[in-house]
Amino acid sequence: MNEIRPIATGMERLEALAAVERKLLWLASWMIHNANHIRPNRDGLKVGGHQASCASVISIMTALYFEILRPSDRVAVKPHAGPVLHAINYLFGRQSVEKMAGLRQFGGAQAYPSRSKDGAEIDFSTGSVGLGVALTSFASLIQDYVRAHGLVDPSSRKARHVAIAGDAELDEGNIYEALLEGWKHDVRDVWWVVDYNRQSLDSVMPDRLFGRFEGLFRDMGWKVVSLKYGRRLRAAFARPGAASLRGWVDECPNSMYSALTFQGGAAWRQAILADMSKRSGVRAIIDPLSDDALASLMTNLAGHDLATLTEAFRAAAQSDQPTCFLAYTIKGMGLPFAGHKDNHAGMMTVEQMDVFKASMNVRPGHEWDRFEGLEQRQAVERFVDSVPYATSLTPQGRRLSAPPVAVPAVLPQPKIAGRKMSTQAGYGEILSEIGRAEGTAKELSRHIVTMSPDVAVSTNLGPWINRRGVFDRHTRDDVFRDGKLASAQRWGTNPDGQHIELGIAEQNLFLLLGAAGLSHDLLGARLLPVGTVYDPFVNRGHDALFYACYQDARFLLVGTPSGITLAPEGGQHQSTNTPLLGIVQDRLASFEPAYCDELAILLRHAFDWMQRPEGSAVWLRLSTRLAVQPDRRLDAKAVISGAHWVKPPAQGARIAIAYQGAVAAEAETAFDALLEDEPGAGLLAITSPDRLYAGWREAQRRRRGGDAQAKAYIETLLAPLKRDAALVTVLDGHPAAHAWMGAVRGQRVFALGPDHFGQSGDVTDLYREYETDASAILDACAEALLSGS
Ligand SMILES: Cc1ncc(C[n+]2csc(CCOP(=O)(O)OP(=O)(O)O)c2C)c(N)n1
Ligand SMILES: [Mg+2]
């Protein structure tokens, strides 16, 4: 349980919070105004920003950051409240005026909170709505994991994971997938505070939706705290004869409530009297009030009432039950467009800002001063300095760190050469060997955590799981095993287990990989997360994968099986676009080995690369296709760099065949035939078009920057070939993954690979149909040689 200390203030706590609230509203609004109206605009494009979304959540964020949160807590802030977060950090002395004045500018504060670009104060990036919210639940699960495994000091305070969410974020399906998974893992200490302004981007939300949310959350084991009315409204409703006023507000449709809020006191009066002019109890409340006072009373929602908010948060902090706060708010509260349905991208005009500035007592030229215009500013400063959250976690900010785990020079592995096996099976066997936790792999095996959305066994994780166990905070027996019912798999769970089993929801896999892949930064515990998924279903979770990479999470993704090689499994099981995703995805190094010796090199590289500051997450695309494993010595550096010559071409050769992954055998057969006519031809094994392409781009950049000697690996590889030589390339994936290679040295590429998918068949039929068999490769070679000089 997390205890909440009272704050020593020197001024009334609520007064101090109210002063901060006012300052945050000013700073967030000004930051956006400055970006749009004050700063020179070179291209005439709208800069944008969300003053209304910020205003809506300011009281909630004030209560949390300035009273409730502790330094070790981790928070995902709804994307369009980024300026509020920047302003909070500014008050804590951890954000600069330059960055805020540069909001949405190159090098300035980011439009949406970003871990990788805004620096060490941001716990979670947000932007694609729903994902940041769900991530908090997975981050909490990872906290449970590292604590259970003794990877952090068990006496350290347990962090609470908090999402400050927009209500429309609850429309995203991934929220409910995450809730289900969180329930299964009995996740604790998670709060989702919903800024319930009943407005999204386009419009006002359907009425009575809140009833649905309450039910959904409760069904998943959450506590739901509905924070509807502020103290003044509650006091008014409690007056004699005023129950009908409460009933009227309760029944007021969302759109009407919003419209009245926008219109102000006179409109409120007219609407109330139209329905209740004869109710003396109601009239006794509203008649004495001026229009402004009536408007203020009617918009006194709990989400803007600091006392109600802090009280509710403090009460909830007594328990570790996951809690959803539905905090009723008004979008644009305190600003001229409060409540207007079109206010999402609305902004104060210059004239409105002048009025607002005057009302905030901000003198021209002092807009960025930290406590400008506040009464008792020294007391407020003292208060801000005394806030528990203001203590930075580390001198550098909120980032923790963990030393890298040593990776043995060669991973333990079974004998592979000469056996007929697939890369997927090889992956399972190598991981299983690591799982023995012997010798140099002992430490490595301790830090690996595997996870899979219901495809652990079918992606060959089984032997590893049998060795290392399935993780759960609660020990659960394996009924089949205990009943001596034959099964190859142990599914009992315990807190020492090192595999986290998820239901079939690929977004959850990527969110969990994202959370685990940030564990060194967030928890100070190094994890080497490995997630397996059927390669085609990477598409299903792609936004969450993108999100994990965007945050620079470090993990290994194993996509297997892949491509049309799945053959009889037609339909959406055949991934053809994933090699292209691997090329374009930032902060993700993608590889596809054809043989297990390459795989062993790449797997080792992945564990090393994901821990390096300059490294990234890694994606291995594997296959279930059987192949006789060669006995050879490989140049590990070449494999990691993206390709190696199986047979180097003769100097000035007219042609080479380049293959990637499962189609190796077809390429080899075709190559043997080609050699009869073209003895100088080369055979290139491509292990990563992604790395080759990245290296080529980098060399071009360096040359343009004046480094004339810069040379890309792919340039060196292709150098022996004739200038207009032909490259016949083939992979079980979209041929565009290789097509660019022709531009490296002006050579002619004939790229093969399926550009359609979804047909059932056997490999022979499908490779013929989609032109990846040996005869298609030879046809392409013939075409290339005939059309060449
Ligand atoms: C996945 C995704 N879809 C669409 C958007 C564009 N978008 C940004 S904010 C928003 C509406 C958000 O409404 P809500 O969450 O209620 O926030 P608030 O009312 O507080 O602004 C939308 C659709 C987005 N950021 N992410
Ligand atoms: Mg909203």
Q: Is the peptide bond before 253 cis (omega within 30 degrees of 0)?
A: no
Q: How many angstroms does the Cα of residue 325 sit away from the middle of ligand 2?
A: 14
Q: What is the pLDDT of residues 600-623, one digit of tens each?
A: 999 999 999 999 999 999 999 999
200 lines ligand 1 (CB under 6 A): yes
Residue nearest to atom 7 of ligand 1 (CA): 201
Give the tens place of pLDDT for each residue, 95-134.
Answer: 999 999 999 999 999 999 999 999 899 999 999 999 999 9
Ligand closest to CA 80: 1
How far does the centroid of ligand 2 lie from the alpha carbon of residue 41, in Å?
29
* Residue 168 CB–ligand 1 contact under 6 Å: yes
Residue to mutate (ligand 1; options 80, 110, 169; most atoms within 8 A of CB): 80
Q: What is the pLDDT of residue 198?
A: 87
Ligand 1 atom nearest to 52, measured from its CA: 21
Mutate which of 201, 333, 507 for ligand 1? The one with the most ligand atoms within 8 Å of its CB, which is 201
Q: Are 174 and 131 in contact (CB under 8 A)?
A: yes
Establish whether residue 466 lines the binding site of ligand 1, counting it when its CB lies within 6 angstroms of any ligand atom: no
- Cβ–ligand 1 distance for 203 under 6 Å, the answer no
Of all protein residues, whose CA lies closest to atom 1 belonging to ligand 1?
Answer: 128
**Joined tokens for residue 304:** 């803007």
Cα torsion angle, 516, 522, 525, 526, sign: positive
Residue 80 in contact with ligand 1 by CB distance below 6 A: yes
User: Cβ distance 535 to 561 under 8 Å?
Assistant: yes
User: From ligand 2's centre to the CA of 331, what distance in Å?
Assistant: 7
Residue 536 identity (one-letter amino acid): P
Least distant ligand from the CA of 166: 1
Residue 538 Cα to ligand 2 midpoint, Å, equals 30
What is the predicted pLDDT for the residue at 9?
53
Helix (H) or strand (E) holding 731: strand 726-731
CA–CA gap between residue 58 and residue 52 (Å, rounded):
10
E-assigned strand segments in 117-222: 161-166, 190-196
Name the amino acid, one letter, at 48: G
Atom of ligand 1 nearest to the CA of 344: 21
- Expressed in angstroms and rounded, the spacing between residue 49 Cα and the centre of ligand 1 is 12
- Secondary structure class of 394 (helix, strand, coil): strand
202 Cα: distance to centroid of ligand 2 (angstroms): 10
Q: Which ligand is nearest to the CA of 170?
A: 1
DSSP code, position 529: E
Which ligand neighbours the alpha carbon of 52 most closely? 1
Angle of helix 82-91 relative to helix 13-33, nearest 10 degrees, comes to 120
Ligand nearest to the CA of 328: 2
* Cα–ligand 2 centroid distance for 57 (angstroms): 10
Cα of 212 to ligand 1 centre, how many Å?
Answer: 20
Using an 8 Å Cβ cutoff, are 563 and 574 in contact?
yes
Which residues, in sequence order, are CB contacts of 235 under 8 Å at separation 6+? none
CB 168 within 8 A of CB 135: no
Report which protein residue has its CA nearest ligand 1's atom 21: 53
How far is ligand 1, taken at its centre, from the CA of residue 100, in Å?
22
Q: Which residue's CA is the closest to the ligand 1 atom numbered 23?
A: 201
The count of other CB atoms within 10 Å of the CB of residue 426 is 26
Of 78, 110, 129, the one to substitute when testing ligand 1's pocket (max ligand atoms within 8 A of C-beta) is 129
Provide Rg for the chain, Cα atoms.
30
Name the pTM for this structure: 0.96
Task: Find the 307 Cα to ligand 1 centroid distance in Å.
Answer: 28
Whether ligand 1 lies within 6 angstroms of the CB of 263 is answered as no
What residues have CB less than 8 Å from 424, skipping those under 6 apart? Answer: 459, 460, 560, 561, 622, 623, 624
Q: Which atom of ligand 1 is nearest to the CA of 201?
A: 11
Q: How far apart are CA 338 and CA 346, in angstroms?
A: 10
Is 669's C-beta closer than 6 angstroms to any atom of ligand 1? no
Residues 261 and 294: beta-carbon distance below 8 Å: no
DSSP state of 648: P
Which tokens sit at 700?
Answer: 């071009």
How close is the Cα of 78 to the center of ligand 1, in Å? Answer: 9
Residues of the chain with pLDDT under 70: 1-11, 207-208, 789
Q: Which ligand is nearest to the CA of 202?
A: 1
Q: Which residue among 344, 511, 547 is best mutated to probe the pocket of ligand 1, counting the most ligand atoms within 8 A of its Cβ?
A: 344
Asked if 124 and 138 count as a contact pair (C-beta separation under 8 A), the reply is no
Q: Please tell me if the CB atom of residue 128 comes closer than 6 angstroms to any atom of ligand 1.
A: yes
Ligand whose nearest atom lies closest to the CA of 197: 2
Beta carbon of 258 within 6 Å of any ligand 1 atom = no
Ligand 1 atom showing the smallest separation from residue 50 Cα: 21
